[in-house]
Amino acid sequence: MGQLRDQMEADLKIGGYSPSTQKIYLLYARHFAAHFMRSPADLGADDVRRFLLHLVQDKQASRETIRQVRSSLRFLYTVTLNRPVEIEWLPVPRKQKRLPVVLSGTEVAALLDAVRAPKYRMIITVMYAAGLRISEACTLQSEDIDSKRKVIRIRGKGDKERLVPIGDEAQHWLQRYLAEARPTLAGRRNPDALFLGVRGQVLSRQHFWLTVKRLAARAGIDPVRVSPHGLRHSFATHLLNHGADLRALQMLLGHASLSTTQIYTQVARERLKRLHQAHHPRG
């Protein structure tokens, strides 16, 4: 795409899009151009339709992928090329309503037992103990930990902050990690970051995601069922099963809408239903 790519990247930065969103939008715009081996400036509505149909029928892309491609091309034609007429017809793919995958307490314990590096044991413990998003966990800083009050300050979506309490066990591992395991990087890049990756950089979400998959396999759990975000789902469902108030759970998770939190009531019901069927099989 050359110059057009540079223009789109500049427009994304001006629009305040996150680095991860910029990367995804530019990637799909490049795939669109590569599919036709022509610049998007020379393509139009019929080509967009053919490309999306190719992804749906030939590549069997997920609905979420189609939504991302659609958003990328909408930005490209609406903003960078200033030709919104090319994508005005685009339908919005309907979201698939899937229940979150939740680990049992035994599986969470097995996952933790499979960890050998203190850093990963700590980040998994904190994610499960506080119900954090992966982006929230990877960007935690030392100053976010309030050991006296046993709370963590979380910088969530939309720069919204919240305080989340952590239990005694998580507090124990956190203090131990801070005292013994965390690398001393004073004077280097990101010295205040709680979890660091290679060359002193903030731990990347992709690297941690892959690490969790490997740990799941080591623990004897199907890696397909396990993801960092699954720890957040497990935290929410386990709290709900133990009688937590839905409104309180919303505040802990940092959900803007209570309707988002209500998905966990359905998860809890489904789990109870499966347990009942397992203990009372039809004869």
pLDDT, tens digit, for every residue of 124-168?
A: 999 999 999 988 888 888 888 888 888 999 987 767 889 998 888
CA 185-186-187 angle, to 5 degrees, is 110
* pLDDT at residue 186, as a whole number: 46
Q: Which residues are catalytic?
A: 133, 157, 229, 232, 255, 264
Domain boundaries 3-86, corresponding CATH code:
1.10.150.130
pTM of the model: 0.62
pLDDT in tens, 220-261: 998 878 889 889 999 998 988 888 888 888 888 988 888 888
More confident residue, 225 or 43: 43
- Identical fold for domains 3-86 and 105-279, yes or no, is no
Given a cut of 50, whether residue 187 has pLDDT beyond it is: no
Q: Note the helical H segments in the chain.
A: 3-14, 19-36, 45-57, 63-75, 105-113, 118-130, 134-138, 168-176, 205-218, 228-241, 246-253, 258-261, 263-279
Domain boundaries 105-279, corresponding CATH code:
1.10.443.10
Enumerate the domain spans of the chain. 3-86, 105-279
Given a cut of 50, whether residue 74 has pLDDT beyond it is: yes
